[in-house]
Amino acid sequence: MSSDSISFYRDLPIFSDFESVTELANYTKLPESWHIVAADVQDSTGAIRDGHYKAVNVVGVSVITAITNLTDPYTIPSMFGGDGATLCIPTSLVPRAREALIATRRMAIKQFNLNLRIGIVPVDVVRRAGHEVLLAKHRMSEHFTQVAFAGGGVEYAESLIKDDKTGKAYRLENEEESSNADYSGLECRWDNVPSQHGETISLIVKVLASSTEEQAKLYNEIIAKVKQIYGDDNSCRPVQIDALNLTNNSWKLSHESKVRTFSREKNKTLNYWLFIRMQIFFGRIFMAFNMKVAGFNWGNYKKDVVSNTDFKKFDGTLREVISGTPEQREKLDSYLNNRYSKRECVYGIHVSDSALVTCMINNRDGEHYHFVDGADGGYAMAATNMKQQLKSLVASV
């Protein structure tokens, strides 16, 4: 494999048990010539409090869509973070990725009045600072594999870009009007998905142990505890077939339209709006009557949507969106608070009544991926709570 091989990620071995994200033996070093792309909406918590949580989510997914549309999506590791995204790209893709990212930043400002902070950091910069970028692949379903990150390198790259001083060397901030991006496949047509058990939580947990062995041990215990409290995947998935409904809400549909028609003429914007409405109308009929159209059985689509969601992931921090009861959350909060009091971890939990789903469609016959967050800005608000805990620990030293 060459150092810049586009097939590096596609050819990584895949493990099936989510618990295996804590085992470093499952991880592989990112090739030396690759780069880390990190993006986040600046002051996302303020935007969410002002009611723009859906815009924050769709901008984060737009980053992933813009990059994966440059190549085979299976070759690019990407992770949705609620108010942003993280990806890894080879050097050969950097020039086109820069253009797509600059265009996406411009789109976020003009369409949603959101400032998208984006940067590209060479992996050798991360390694010279004493961090590593390790990747693994976890199978979520037959058609969907989720990247896992370890080694602290991705987190370090994100911190570089967020810092106004260090970020200048890596951040993309110009506004080249000639830049463009392809957002084909991005869709945002599901209504909020109500919890099957009463509430949906967005959970973020960061272990504070210094040694990799102790980190793995603690994450293993925490993942096992979450499973013990909430049950298996089928019991706690935030997206269920019976709760999936296509929306007719014009405000919700406008987010997809704003992204997909950015820089288009006015008549094409109207045409796309009508196209969405037509697809929703026929999609409801096809799914309701299990119709087979163009060789595809629409009766299977919702089942595939449920399977192809990224409701749990690991990037050196545990992130999950879970459906459960208030009693289950109280048990989890008590358990994690005990760990926090021992300085073993910091965590954030945001509670809502539903999940928000933003989609990236390669093809509807299996290869479609669905990015899940708690409604009302779940991950971003949980991260804010976690950061407050971390500040409290630092202040008490």
Residue 6 lies in a domain: no
Confidence at residue 1, expressed as pLDDT on a 0 to 100 scale: 39
Instruction: Give ∠ CA 74-79-80 in degrees, rounded to 5.
Output: 125
Element (H, E) at 332: helix 326-341
Residue 196 lies in a domain: yes
Q: 92 by DSSP, 3-state: which?
A: helix
Contact 371, 80 (CB under 8 A): yes
What confidence tens digit (pLDDT) does each residue in 87-119 have?
A: 999 999 999 999 999 999 999 999 999 999 999
Residue 312 lies in a domain: yes
Contact 21, 105 (CB under 8 A): no
Residue 90 lies in a domain: yes
Confidence at residue 22, expressed as pLDDT on a 0 to 100 scale: 94
Residue 36 lies in a domain: yes
Instruction: State which residues of the chain have pLDDT below 50.
Output: 1-3
Confidence at residue 2, expressed as pLDDT on a 0 to 100 scale: 44
Residue 228 lies in a domain: yes
Structure tokens at 30: 């990112």
Residue 52 lies in a domain: yes
Total structural domains in the chain? 1
Q: Is 306 exposed, middle or buried (0-12, 13-18, 19+ CB in 10 A)?
A: buried
Confidence at residue 21, expressed as pLDDT on a 0 to 100 scale: 95
Confidence at residue 205, expressed as pLDDT on a 0 to 100 scale: 98
Give the domain range for residue 233: 14-242+304-395
Residue 230 lies in a domain: yes
